[in-house]
Amino acid sequence: MTPQLSASAGGAQQAQPDEHRLAAGRALAHFNNACALVDRNELSRAWTEFERVLELQPDHAEALVRVAGLAAQRGDASLARDFALRVLKSDPQNIAARIILAQADLEEEKFQAVLDGLSSLSSTDGLAAIHQAVAQGLVADALDGLGRTGEAFAAYIKSNETQRLFYRPQYEAPGVETALSRVQKRVAYFRDASAESWRVQPETREKNRTHVFLVGFARSGTTLLEQVLASHPDIESMEERECLMEAAEEYVYPPGGLDRLAALPEPALEAWRDAYWEQVGETGHSATKPVFIDKMPLNTLLLCLVAKLFPEAKIVFALRDPRDVVLGCFRRRFRMNPQMYELLTLSGAANYYDVTMQLAELYREKLSLAIFDARHETLVTDFDREIDRLCVFLGIARDDGMRRFAENAKRRGSATPSAPQVARGLYTSGIEQWRRYAGELAPVMPVLAPWVSRFGYSPQ
């Protein structure tokens, strides 16, 4: 938006600098707000704020890069390309814009263009480690698209190793407990725990609302499920907010915490429920619709906490072939945290999946929670029947808008690596991707084989 000039030339000379300063100040405020919204995964609102920045300062390079990145996350390759090219026109060496341009090429299956644009960048000395890792990962994706799976796997290893070396001081520092170790301790605890102390009798606290936790494992199909369900007019869905974390830090992680949680009296439980809903409200969710969904895949690990605080909650557990899950975790690039750090090696991803499923099985045995297993392969091959079953479980009638989830996904946005795929709609090409990498997966097959059998997938 161009500032209006006053009628007189003298007035224009005086007003223009002031208006430019005011516009720059407003643009900065909108930009900072947009970045904060991105950090909170409120991507639709962030998009609007970045647009306001560009209305005030059309050449704001960082806002252009951020909007290009959001467009790429939405799966809108054309728009991502347009914004990235606007940046590169004035700054041809802008690394972030070059990476986003490659993401757009990848989305449009221009695999050789990705290699041409990023092969040199992915090995550039002195490039920031995160940019280098992303470039290496996109090169790997392009090689995968060209069917050069051996080279692709080597490139995935290279990308993950770049990240691992960068984050190692943070996640492998002396005295820092690993995510794997934390889960192993919970497995040991619940093997010996009395089921009686964990089975809570519901007291019908949420009469006007069905409270749902959508869980599973990374790359198990939770983003697709969430976007489908969020397209129902009677469902409000919250994507990947850690509203249980404060209670987890108090009762799940510390020594002796689980015993204290098991014995927690009702008034204390009610206080933690109130704290949870307060945090939900702070994310901008009102939770006033008939169904409220808290989607966080690795809340699988906190189902003991869910069982105590919300014994009436319904659990939708996303299942997918363990081999595709682990391969997908190894190949994708996540926002880093202790859990995602475990996925940077193939053995780490397999072991973390294994221990997570062990704990989930113990929870099924020891906790009194209503659980619906939503199988990814069934959802994409027999959508209507699977959604009918899921709606019955949630106590709502199916809505035809659920079939238009891809349009909704583009409007809502998502911060997960699955977002561009979900925006494409239903497709079956993601099923049994592991077969293309069967040789590379061979070392971890003994870890995954029991779960392949347990979940009813073909061993061959």
**Structural domain that includes position 399:** 179-454
At residue 3, the pLDDT reads 30
231-288 pLDDT tens trace: 999 999 998 899 999 999 999 999 999 999 999 999 999 999 999 999 999 988 989 9
* 116 contacts 108 by C-beta, under 8 angstroms: no
pLDDT for the residue numbered 119: 76
Average pLDDT along the chain: 89
165 and 299 fall within a common domain:
no
Whether 422 and 275 map to the same domain: the answer is yes
Q: pLDDT tens digit string along 162-182? A: 999 999 999 999 999 999 999
In this structure, what CATH number is given to the domain that contains residue 194? 3.40.50.300
Give the pLDDT confidence score for residue 110 in this predicted structure: 95
Q: What is the CATH number of the domain that holds 65?
A: 1.25.40.10
Please compute the mean of the pLDDT values over residues 338-366 and round it to a whole number.
97
Q: What is the mean pLDDT of residues 388-401?
A: 94
274 lies in some domain: yes
Element (H, E) at 349: helix 346-366
Same domain (yes/no): 151, 183: no
Task: Clarify whether residues 138 and 272 are in a common domain.
Answer: no
If you average pLDDT over residues 18-30, what whole number do you get?
Answer: 82
Structure confidence at residue 197 (pLDDT): 86
Quick check: 423 and 406 in contact, CB under 8 A?
A: yes
Residues 6+ apart with CB under 8 A from 62: 31
- CB of 377 closer than 8 Å to CB of 431: yes
Same domain, 418 and 443: yes
* Structure confidence by residue, pLDDT tens digits, 230-245: 999 999 999 889 999 9
Distance CA 197, CA 339 (A): 28
Question: What is the number of domains present in the chain?
Answer: 2
pLDDT score at 23? 77
Query: What pLDDT, on a 0 to 100 scale, did the predictor assign at position 183?
Result: 98
Asked, for residue 206, whether it belongs to a domain, the answer is: yes
